[in-house]
Chains A and B, each alone.
Chain A
Amino acid sequence: MSDQFLFGIEVVINGLMAGVLYALVALGFVLIYKASGIFNYAQGVMALFAAMTLVGVMNGQVPFAHLINSILGTDVHHFGWHIPAVIAILMTMAVMILLAWAVQQLVMRHLVNQEPIILFMATIGLAYFLEGFSDLMWGSEIKKLDVGLPQGGSFWIEEMTAGLGGEGFYGFFIDRLDIVATVIAILLVVALMLFSNYTKEGRALRAVADDHQAALSVGVSLNFIWVLVWSVAGFVALVAGIMWGTKSGVQFSLSLIALKALPVLMLGGFTSIPGAIVGGLIIGVGEKLFEFLLGPALGGATENWFAYVLALVFLVFRPQGLFGDKIIERV
C-alpha cells in the first residue's frame, strides 16, 4: 500500500472522529427542535456554560467572584478545595437542570403559541445573556479542563499500524480523546434512543413533539416536558462541552462551534437523531478529505468553508436533509 493511500485513510479516520464532536453539538439542537419546534441558537453557549461551570466547580472557584469583590470589597477567588471530576459533573448537571427550569419559567412559558421566528429570536437573546452570565460567573480567561480523559496520540495504534506502510510511514496517529468521544457519543445516542422509545417520559416527549392538544388530553404536562427537554439538551451540551473543552481548552470561541452544527443539521435534517450523527460524520470526513485532496490546489484552509458550501448544495437539492421529515401539507 502506498503511503499516500494510508495517509488518506488516516485522514478519513480523523475526519470521522471530528465528525463525532460536530454530531454531539448537533444532537442538542435536534432534541429541542423535535420536541418544541424551537431552533435553539443557544445550544453552543450552553455547552460553553456547562464546561465553564464544570471547571469552576472542580477548581473550587467562587462564582461571581469579581462581582462579590467589587461590591463587598473582599478578595475571594477560591474556596480552596478541589472536587473530584465525577461529583463535579453531577453538580454541573444539577446546574444545567436548574438552567432548563429557569429558561422554561422565565422565557419559553410566556412565548407559547408564538411564531417560530419569535422563539428563535428568544434563543438568540438567551445565547447572548448566557455568554455574559458565564463571563460574570466564572471569568473570561481560557481554562484548562481535565476530567481524567485520556489524551494524546495512541502509541498502541501507531505501533500496530506502522508495519503497513513503507519507510516514511509511522502508523496511524489517532488522538485517544477522539476515541473516547466516539464511544461516549455512541453511548449517548443509544441512551437517548432507549429513553425516547421505552420510558413513559420518552413517550410523553414524543407525544408533545407531535401534537400539543392531544398530549394534554392524555394527561401530559407540557411545562414538565419542556423542562425535561431543556434538561436533556443541557446534558448533551455538558457532554459536548467536556469533549471540546478537553480538546481545545474552555474558552468563549467554544460557543462558535454551534455554527459548525448548522451545516450538520442541514445535511442530516433538523428532526432526526441518526441524521445528526450521519451529518456530523459526513461533514467531519468531507472537510478533512477535501482539504487533503484539493486543499493544496485551492490554497488551503478549505476546512473553514467546505461545510457551509456542502450545506448550500443540500439546501438546493434536498432541503429537508438526508433524514428529515419531508414537508408536505395535504390539502
Chain B
Amino acid sequence: MDEGYTTTDGRKIGGVVMEMKNITLRFGGVVAIKDISFDIREGEIRAIIGPNGAGKSSMLNVMSGFYVPQEGEVWFHGKPRPQMKPYQVAQQGIARTFQNIALFEGMSVLDNVMTGRLTQMKSGLFAQAIWKGKAEAEETENREFAEKIIDFLEIQAIRKTPVARLPYGLKKRVELARALAAEPKLLLLDEPMAGMNVEEKEDMSRFILDVNDEFGTTIALIEHDMGVVMDLSDRVVVMDYGQKIGDGTPDDIRNNQAVIDAYLGVSHD
C-alpha cells in the first residue's frame, strides 16, 4: 500500500503525507493519548472519531504543534519533524481550524482570510514601506487568491462584515476559508460540524468534499457525528480513552466490534 490506493469512488490516493508514530501524550497523571500510530495519505480525507474525551482534539493539537507529545514522533513528508512551535508548523503548510472557533473577531471576513495568506507573503518590511513593484504585486496576487477562496465558499456577500456580527455557522465557514487561504498541504479540521443544524452540516460536508476535489487538499478531520464521518471520509481512525481501537475504511469500521462496543456500550454480565 506504499504507493497509495484507489478509493471506491475512483479517486487516486498518493503516498504518506503525515505519519504519527507511537504518540503518547500525558497531562500530569492523565494519559490523553496512549501509543497511537496512523498515517495520512496525499489527497485523502482522513477522519478521527471517538466518544467524548477520547483524545481526538489532543491528537489534532499534537499534529498542529500546539501540544508536544512525551513519546513518539510526527513524520511529515517522509522526515521526522523536530519539535517546533505552532506557528512554525503552520509555516510548513499545515493549516487548522478550532473546535471553539478562533477567528479575529474585530476584523472583516476578507481581512481574516487575508491573514491566512501571511505564510505566503515574503516581502520584507522595508520593501513594503516603499510599496513598489514586488510588494505591491504580491499584495494583489494574495488578494486575488483570497477572493477566490471567498467565492469558493460562497461568502462573497459578507466579505466586508466584521466577523463578530456573523452567526455561528458562517463563522465556521470563514474559519475554513482562512485555513484554505494558506494553500495547506494538510488541512486539519477540529469538529467542523459541531453545533450545526442539519442544513448547515450538509453545506459544510459539501464544502469539505469540494475542497478535497477542487484543490486536491489532504484533509484530516475530527468528528463526533458518525453518520457524517462515514459519508465523508476515505479512512477512519477510531479512538477511545486515548487508545486506537480501529483503523480502516468506513465499512471496516462499521463492522468493527470494538468500535460498536465503544459507541453503544457493552453489557457487563
Contacts and interface: CB of A to CB of B under 8 A. Distances in A.
Contacts, number: 81
26 contacts: A198-B128, A199-B129, A200-B121, A200-B123, A200-B128, A203-B111, A203-B118, A204-B115, A207-B118, A210-B105, A210-B106, A211-B102, A211-B103, A211-B105, A213-B66, A214-B104, A216-B87, A217-B86, A217-B90, A217-B95, A217-B102, A218-B95, A218-B119, A218-B182, A219-B87, A220-B115
- The secondary-structure label for the interface of chain A is helix
Interface size class of A (residues with CB under 8 A): 20 to 34
Interface of A: 198-201, 203-204, 206-207, 209-211, 213-222, 325
Give 7 closest A-B pairs by Cβ, nearest first: A219-B90, A214-B102, A210-B104, A219-B119, A216-B86, A200-B121, A199-B128
Interface in B86-106: 86-88, 90-91, 95-96, 98, 102-106
B105 A220 contact: no
A214 B119 CA distance: 13
A222 B87 contact: yes
A222 B128 CA distance: 21
Contacts of A222: 87
A217 B63 CA distance: 12
B192 interface: no
Contacts of B103: 211, 214
Interface string B57-69: 0000000101000
Contacts of B86: 216-217
B85 interface: yes
Contact of B87 (A200, A209, A211, A221): A221
Contacts of B98: 213-214, 217
A207 B90 CA distance: 15
B90 A200 contact: no
Contact of B114 (A203, A210, A219, A325): A203
A206 to B, nearest CB: 6
Contacts of B116: 218
B226 interface: no
Residue with the greatest number of chain B CB neighbours at <10 A, chosen from A200, A207, A217, A325 = A217
Nearest to A271: B106
A204 B118 contact: yes
Contacts of B111: 203, 206
B41 interface: no
A203 B125 CA distance: 12
A196 to B, nearest CB: 11
A189 to B, nearest CB: 16
A37 B131 CA distance: 30
B86 to A, nearest CB: 4
B148 to A, nearest CB: 17
Given A218-B118, A220-B118, A207 B104 contact: yes
Contacts of B31: none
B64 A217 contact: yes
B260 interface: no
Residue with the greatest number of chain A CB neighbours at <10 A, chosen from B85, B86, B129 = B86
Contacts of B96: 217
A137 to B, nearest CB: 29
A201 B127 CA distance: 12
A188 to B, nearest CB: 14
A285 B91 CA distance: 49
A223 to B, nearest CB: 9
Contacts of A216: 66, 85-87, 90
Given A211-B102, A218-B178, 5 more contacts: A198-B128, A198-B131, A211-B104, A218-B115, A220-B115
Nearest to B139: A198
Contacts of A218: 90, 95, 115-116, 118-119, 178, 182
Contacts of B182: 218-219
A211 B85 CA distance: 16
A200 B117 CA distance: 9
A207 B115 contact: yes
A21 B95 CA distance: 44
Contacts of B85: 216, 221
B107 interface: yes
Nearest to B121: A200
A124 B180 CA distance: 43
B104 A206 contact: yes
A222 B66 CA distance: 13
Contacts of A221: 85, 87-88
Contacts of A220: 87, 115, 118
Contacts of B95: 217-218
Contacts of A211: 102-105
Contacts of B90: 216-219
Contacts of B123: 200
A214 B96 CA distance: 9
A220 B139 CA distance: 18
A193 to B, nearest CB: 13
B87 A213 contact: no
Contacts of B91: 219
A218 B94 CA distance: 9
B107 A210 contact: yes
